[in-house]
A = this chain, B = another copy of it.
Amino acid sequence: MPIATIKLLEGRTDTQKKKLVETVTKAIQDAIGASPENITVVLEEMQRTHYAVGGIRASDK
């Protein structure tokens, strides 16, 4: 029943996203023995104006 939510900066290709959900699902399966059909992965893209480290947004670098 694991639910993984991955926030990432916008700009990844569809191929990268497809690979991402596949590899993360496999990683969860390998680490804790969950059945794949019980593993949910959700991607959330962040705009560069909506993400900051140290108070500086990715868009302002």
Residues of chain A whose beta carbon lies under 8 Å from any beta carbon of chain B: 1-9, 12, 14, 16-28, 30-32, 34, 36-37, 39-46, 49-55, 57-58, 60
Say whether A57 contacts B5, CB under 8 Å: no
Say whether B18 contacts A57, CB under 8 Å: yes
Q: Which of B6, B25, B26 has a CB less than 8 Å from the CB of A4?
A: B6
Say whether A24 contacts B24, CB under 8 Å: yes
What are 24 A-B residue pairs whose CB atoms fall within 8 Å in the complex? A1-B9, A1-B40, A1-B53, A2-B9, A3-B8, A4-B5, A4-B7, A5-B5, A8-B34, A12-B32, A16-B31, A16-B32, A17-B50, A19-B31, A21-B52, A21-B55, A24-B27, A26-B27, A36-B54, A36-B55, A41-B51, A41-B52, A41-B55, A43-B51
